[in-house]
Amino acid sequence: MHKFGIWAPKAQKMSLSWRGQVLPMNGPSHRGWWTLEVEEAGCGDRYAFLLDDDPTPYPDPRSVRQPDGVHGASELYRHDNFTWHDQLWRGSPKTGAIIYELHIGTFSAEGTFDGAIPKLQYLAELGVTHVEVMPVAAWAGKQGWGYDSVSLFATHEHYGGPDGFKRFVDACHATGLSVILDVVYNHFGPVGNYTGKFGPYLNHNRKTPWGDAVNLDQEGSDEVRRFFVDNAIMWLKDYHCDGLRFDAVHAFIDLSAVHFMEQLSTEVERLGATVGKEFYLIAESDLNDPRVIRPREANGYGMDAQWSDDFHHSLFAVLYSPKEGETGYYGDFGTLADLHKSLQHAYVYDGQYSGYRKRRHGRPADGLSAHHFIHFDQNHDQVGNRGWGERLEHLIETDTAKLSIGLVLLAPYTPMLFMGEEWACSTPFLYFADHEDEEMRRLVAAGRKSEFAAFGFDGDVPDPEQEKTYTDSKLKWDEQKDEKHADFLAWTKALIKLRRSRVCFNDGDMHHLHVSSDEEARTLVMERDEARVVVNFGDQPFSFALLEGETLELVSRSGVDVRDGYLNVPPMTLAVFLSTSEQAEDRKVEARSRS
């Protein structure tokens, strides 16, 4: 037996299409729910819903499986039919996380969950603790980034469907890797979204960059919020994910007394208490508002961490000079002082005027641990939203890219790598899609070309609707054998090993961090108790005074020379010096006595 249910508050009548029959449903309830119990229904049955006199059968918005795509009939699926092997798994600690963002379709040649599994041991040996998977909820077409999902409870069939994702998560846990899933709750994709047929999932009076805002605080919003919260709980409970990354939370337009993010964090905490597991909740936010990551007890929303755009933008603008027309938000950055502030205080814009936004932006993140901020020098957005999908190592010299990833992995914040950057891979990560609807395909391709012509990119950018754009973005694992890529991979492994072996590199207390910089000399120094990271961003060698007891531990390129009490550091080089914790403490005492 199965009890079918659908929220359709405006419908006058509802019917279930099942096994060639049309069965009237009971309802609506005072909240707008229609239900029907079918004794003979079971796992694997296809079904759809009919609204009023519309003869078109529509898939279930809460369908767990869409075997024929997002336009087809839904299929009954039972989560308890899968056999898990991770009963003792409790997840990797959040405070020591090293995150690795990947896209299932381009991570392996197969482009599937099963195709990704053989690579998991490599990630564990690299030193990764958390795998952050770009969205896997079902969308129209085959290839895509996943941010156009429309059937949010179903898993993309071309990746391997619900069982395929469970095998992937189970394998991650067997390898010692936690899984963070990227979810999109701020909009639905443009093709195959049928939620509006059933209820007010969108608020037509409020707009976001993707169109109408999700209805989080108007009539019917209780059930809309329940839809998204239940979706989050499903990924954590039924798919055993260890955390979620919420896309663009700044597009949650919610004037409720209890913000949607607060509701999410509260209900996820309850689930964690029930199953005996802590979950990791990450927000993508450009608000520079510490309420997003403050505990609910401190009047925050209770997210565990947020992506740190200010660090990325300030680092990128120091390493690379954007072409005319492609400046955008990078126009607010560009000085070493910006990078210095992003390292010392997390936010660069914490209340001052932003020229890009033409208003004041942000507020200070005082009192928060560095572990609440996720640092990266590239991610799917920053790479894929360039015209040719250029990774950082395609835009700057290899030695400069080594310096960049060194800062990411040695700063006190939680580091995140984007798949392939650990070996400076040669493949781009382009924007690709498969919208099925021919008019939408034409509009997307034309819009992409027009958008980047305005940004000053020469020539035609790749058509996102062509399969070649997708296949060109697949990682080339064999190139790790090449000397250049092998050397870069060895550097990344050395950085991660150093981070994992020293307490000072995992200390999130911002008071234990001291950053200094010299704009004219183009140098930056980051002191973390017994460790000192010195960086020469200039085009000339620079000499740093060697502290008593320091020894050279790691350097991004040859040529660092230690003599007569000075470190002679070549251009675009990062060097790490270590001393004992006793020597570091003695220096602090001496500095305090001098002051």
CB-based contacts of 56: which residues, under 8 Å, 6+ apart?
Answer: 50
466 labelled ligand-binding: no
Measuring CA to CA, which residue among 82, 84, 90 is closest to residue 242?
90
* Residues near 352 by beta carbon (within 8 Å), at least 6 away in sequence: 360, 361, 362
On whether 435 is known to bind a ligand per the annotation, the reply is no
Of 182, 254, 262, 284, the active-site residue reads 284
Q: What angle do CA 1, 138, 278 make, to 5 degrees?
A: 80
Would the annotation count 384 as a binding residue? Answer: yes
Entry field: residues in the chain: 595
Catalytic: 68?
no
Long-range contacts of 57-63 (CB under 8 A, 24+ apart): 57/17, 58/194, 58/197, 58/198, 59/151, 59/194, 60/6, 61/6, 61/7, 61/151, 61/152, 61/153, 61/194, 61/195, 61/198, 61/201, 61/227, 62/153, 62/227, 62/230, 63/151, 63/153, 63/154
Q: How many other CB atoms are found less than 10 A from the CB of residue 18?
A: 21
Query: DSSP code of 52?
Result: T
DSSP 58: B
Please say whether the beta carbons of 194 and 61 come within 8 A.
yes
Ligand-binding site membership of 224 (annotated)? no
User: How far, in Å, are 330, 332, 350 from residue 356 at the CA level?
Assistant: 8, 6, 14
Query: Does 310 appear as a known binding residue?
Result: yes
Range list of H helices, 477-537: 483-501
Q: Known binder of ligand: residue 146? A: no
- Cα–Cα distance measured from residue 594 to residue 8, given in angstroms and rounded to the nearest whole number: 72
Q: Report yes or no: 570 and 403 within 8 Å, Cβ to Cβ.
A: no
Considering 247, 254, 465, 550, which one is annotated as catalytic? 247
- Confirm whether residue 437 is marked as ligand binding: no
Residue 204 among known ligand-binding residues = no
State yes or no: 189 annotated in a binding site: no
Give the helix ranges, DSSP H, for 176-302.
Answer: 195-198, 221-237, 260-275
Q: How far apart are the first and last CA of the chain?
A: 77
Q: What are phi and psi of 457, to 5 degrees?
A: -75, 130
d(CA 104, CA 114): 10
46 is in an annotated binding site: no
Q: Is 383 annotated as a binding residue?
A: yes
Is residue 250 annotated as involved in ligand binding?
Answer: yes
Distance CA 214, CA 394 (A): 37
Does 284 qualify as catalytic in the annotation?
yes
- Alpha-carbon torsion angle 411, 130, 112, 48, nearest 10: -120
- Whether residue 248 is annotated as binding a ligand: the answer is yes
411 is in an annotated binding site: no
Is residue 572 a contact partner of residue 403, using CB atoms and an 8 Å limit?
Answer: yes
- Tell me if 385 is assigned to a ligand binding site: yes
Binding-site entries for substrate: 245-250, 309-313, 380-385
Q: What residues act catalytically?
A: 247, 284
Q: Which residues are annotated as a binding site?
A: 245-250, 309-313, 380-385
